[in-house]
Chains A and B, each alone.
Chain A
Amino acid sequence: MTPPGPARQALELARKDLLLEGRAGETLLVTAPFGGVALLLFPLAIGTDVPLLRSVGYGIYWVVVLLFGVLVSLRQSAADTPAQVALLRLTGVHPVVRLTGRAAANALLLLAFELTLLPVAVMIYDPPLDSWPWLLAVLPLVAAGLAVLGTLAGALAQGLAGRTTLGPLLVVPLALPLLLSATQVAEAVRYGREPWSWVALLLLVDVVAALAVALFARSLEEFS
């Protein structure tokens, strides 16, 4: 019996996470509607001035993606029981591979989450859509960055009672560059500038987070 390569193992782990989440439906049936409610609440609180909502809509969309997206990474179906953790450790799959599999599943779910909320935000706020081609790069890059940071937070808070409250506190401040980049891309396009530097910053955050996984996965997976 030869174990498969790390990429194959990571894919298998991601597939399992997606299958579990597909059956639990927490991301698209619970967290996404909750995010939709948040999008609906902002205008009720700040007023229904149409030009104002048009100008803030894009930013509010990304704030909601950031805050609720963390909950997608920390969803219940991604909380391994101690017995499952023990089994995974005994399979001999490297800790980096295990976190990579989790991050890949998180990224796909977050992308689906972003794509679900986007039409809701467009409908409620009617923001200018002139920057839409850039979204093709921004949506996956934010999903990837948030997924990797969320995976790290999930590993840091593994098995702790306050996992779902502690995790967001650990991730959200560090994800600030993701929010700024995502919103400033649209801003730059509006003022006729090239937003490449913001896309590069998104990439940088993704790379730093991925490096952190590679460096710390083993330390995080050790048990006393």
Chain B
Amino acid sequence: MSPASRLPYDACPAGRQAQPDAVIQLHGIAVAVERTPVLRDLTLTVGAGEAVGVIGANGSGKSTLLRLLATLLSPAAGTGRVLGSALGSRECEKIRPQIALIGHSPALYSRLTLAENLRFFCRLTGVDVSAVSSALDAVGLGRAADRPADRCSQGMQRRAELARVILSAPALLLLDEPHAGLDSGSAGLVDVIIDEVREREGAAVVVSHDRARLDAAVDRVLDLREGSLREVLPAATMVPGQGFR
């Protein structure tokens, strides 16, 4: 898919009519965390080969949305399907290995080296362990492979997590602030990994506060406000100082 064909914001409303092959289909979803409602009446459809960006104020529920899409949370109301499995059902266990989530804090074991962390992941999921070194090379950490994770900077840990995404080749990629901590030279890595997922007819949902980077990486951007998603205009049409609307 050429970059031109997915820009700008091809007039897809947040909740389009049901697509049979959609990777994500949420309708009227509500989620509460420890009794506090976070998401309400949220509708979202993400098709195969599509990448969607999500923006929103601090605390608006973006990370909760990603956990919901990763099938790690069950909706309190509404219906949702991710990769064909109904949210909140046991079917989700089957599709979880096809989902990759990079959250706020890294899921690395601090006393294991970067390579050990990745090899552990490979052995658990059946990915060929010999691919670890090339994945670390791809994210520019080939020579830091034997460094323990707790001696790596935030950006290095983020890159190691991107290497894990490369190894797992997910059908659904969920990224929470993927550019945070990455230097300018490696921020483009995120775009390439998202493109790879799209080319495999997978889907990506990317949460970010970095609007410029988000615009470059995804097909459309949604604003999470008052618990649900709304389409936002391309950044180029924004009126300075007046936000997106």
Do A and B pair up? The answer is yes
A124 at the interface (CB under 8 A from B): no
Q: Is the CB of A20 within 8 A of B111?
A: yes
Set of chain A residues within 8 Å of B67, measured between Cβ atoms? 86
Q: Which of under 10, 10 to 19, 20 to 34, or 35 or more describes the interface residues of A?
A: 20 to 34
**CB closest chain-A residue, reference B148:** A23
A19 at the interface (CB under 8 A from B): yes
**CB closest chain-B residue, reference A4:** B126
Q: Is the CB of B107 within 8 A of A87?
A: yes
Q: Is the CB of B123 within 8 A of A12?
A: yes
Set of chain A residues within 8 Å of B123, measured between Cβ atoms? 4, 8, 12
Total cross-chain contacts (CB, 8 A):
77
Minimum CB–CB distance from B167 to chain A (whole Å) comes to 9
> How many angstroms between the C-alpha atoms of A147 and B239 in the bound complex?
62
B121 at the interface (CB under 8 A from A): yes
Minimum CB–CB distance from B169 to chain A (whole Å) comes to 8
Set of chain A residues within 8 Å of B107, measured between Cβ atoms? 81, 83-84, 86-87
Of the 9-residue stretches A49-57, A88-96, A175-183, which lies at the interface with chain B? A88-96
> How many angstroms between the C-alpha atoms of A93 and B128 in the bound complex?
17
> How many angstroms between the C-alpha atoms of A81 and B108 in the bound complex?
9
Minimum CB–CB distance from A123 to chain B (whole Å) comes to 33
Minimum CB–CB distance from A63 to chain B (whole Å) comes to 31
B210 at the interface (CB under 8 A from A): no
A211 at the interface (CB under 8 A from B): no
> How many angstroms between the C-alpha atoms of A19 and B120 in the bound complex?
11
Contact partner of A90 among B96, B104, B105, B128, CB < 8 A? Answer: B96
Q: Identify which of B99, B111, B124 gathers the most chain A CB atoms within 10 Å of its CB.
A: B124
Set of chain A residues within 8 Å of B33, measured between Cβ atoms? 224
> How many angstroms between the C-alpha atoms of A19 and B117 in the bound complex?
11
Minimum CB–CB distance from A72 to chain B (whole Å) comes to 17
Q: Is the CB of B126 within 8 A of A1?
A: yes
B193 at the interface (CB under 8 A from A): no
Q: Is the CB of A16 within 8 A of B73?
A: no
Q: Is the CB of A12 within 8 A of B120?
A: yes
Set of chain A residues within 8 Å of B120, measured between Cβ atoms? 12, 16
Identify 7 new A-B residue pairs, CB closer than 8 A, beyond the known A3-B124, A4-B126, A86-B103: A4-B123, A19-B116, A20-B111, A84-B109, A86-B72, A90-B101, A92-B97
Query: 25 interchain pairs (CB within 8 A)?
Result: A1-B127, A3-B97, A4-B124, A9-B124, A12-B120, A12-B124, A16-B112, A16-B120, A19-B111, A20-B112, A24-B111, A83-B105, A83-B106, A86-B72, A86-B103, A87-B101, A87-B107, A90-B100, A91-B96, A91-B97, A92-B93, A92-B96, A223-B72, A223-B73, A224-B34
Q: Which A residues form the contact surface with B (CB < 8 A)?
A: 1-4, 8-9, 12-13, 16, 19-20, 23-24, 77, 81-84, 86-94, 223-224
